[in-house]
Structure 1
């Protein structure tokens, strides 16, 4: 059967070129590239593995806060606010840890009062995740650089596992943030182990 000619003036769709397909695939994975960029930025600035304890704590805190709010879309604004707040505190030469611990306690209390533990299992799991990852980050700071670095690396890789579960389920936070966090956490954890 012969092809039917298109009407005059009708645009003919051409399939995307191989280069266009590759560029589209790369653009679609923007959270992965951002996660790798953040990992490189943090790895270059790392004194020892313990300096990444802040990332572990923030990751757990942002997930917990998003679970308490109950709207996955707020995770990117929370991430941005956290990044700006920690950067400002560091520029002012103020230790961010007291503010982070106070925020974690406040958000935990709000979550427990608001019935966080009665929500779906993955959302409710952000409470014990905050306890485990938050405690690991804080304990690592009091350890030797080598042991503290190993603990931070294990916590980062552990949180990357949680990121993958959250990404697969499409719950708690947006998939783009879960992808970004999984890449950042896993690669930074591995970098700490390799550099130790």
Structure 2
């Protein structure tokens, strides 16, 4: 009998870690384009919003579609110079209500936790926008690192969102959080 083995080498190992590489790429581009740490508050808000939306839908695989839709919408609104924050806040409040009415709080703890996570991380992002550049930047950095901790929990539990998104998000959030702190000092 002939045994076939998985391809060895660097390429398969790197290909297996595509979410990590994507997170590193997004983080690098975001930090290169950063005005001050507050300008990345939308990342915290979108991360919490996407996780909440996925929890409300109850389908972890939908997270990448939500990510693509929200990222494209953010870029389009930015290019058209339309303030996206009223829509983001309205969307978050709508998802919270849908989640509560739909029994989200009776789901497994990590899924149910997306409601308070949205309030915590979304509130931190909005508060950061009202603070000085340095204080707001540090608050965004803390929120990003906090969300990275949540990403690790979600990744390990294989709940709420697809593991690939949790991996992407934990890398992105942590690198952005640390990057904001380093660039602000």
TM-score normalised according to structure 2 size: 0.96
Provide the residue aligned with 2:46 in structure 1: 58
Provide the residue aligned with 1:118 in structure 2: 106
Question: Is it true that 1:140 corresponds to 2:128 in the alignment?
Answer: yes
TM-score normalised according to structure 1 size: 0.91
- Given candidates 22, 43, 60, the residue that maps to 1:72 is 60
Aligned residues: 184
Secondary structure of residue in 1 paired with 2:159: coil
Distance across 2 between alignment mates of 1:14 and 1:58:
43
Secondary structure of residue in 1 paired with 2:35: coil
Provide the residue aligned with 2:30 in structure 1: 42
5 Å-filtered alignment, 1:47-196, equals 47-196=35-184
Report the CA distance between 1:21 and its aligned residue: 2.0
Distance across 1 between alignment mates of 2:109 and 2:150:
13
- The structure with more radius of gyration: 1
Provide the residue aligned with 1:9 in structure 2: none
**CA deviation string 1:38-77 (max 9, x = no partner):** 0011001100000010000000000000000000000000
Question: Does the C-alpha gap of structure 1 residues 16 and 119 become closer, same or farther in structure 2, counting only changes over 3 Å?
Answer: closer
Question: Does the C-alpha gap of structure 1 residues 191 and 113 become closer, same or farther in structure 2, counting only changes over 3 Å?
Answer: same
Distance across 1 between alignment mates of 2:103 and 2:3:
53
Task: Specify every segment of 5 or more residues in structure 1 that has no aligned partner in the other structure, as ranges.
Answer: 1-5, 7-11
Task: Specify every segment of 5 or more residues in structure 2 that has no aligned partner in the other structure, as ranges.
Answer: none
Report the CA distance between 1:91 and its aligned residue: 1.1
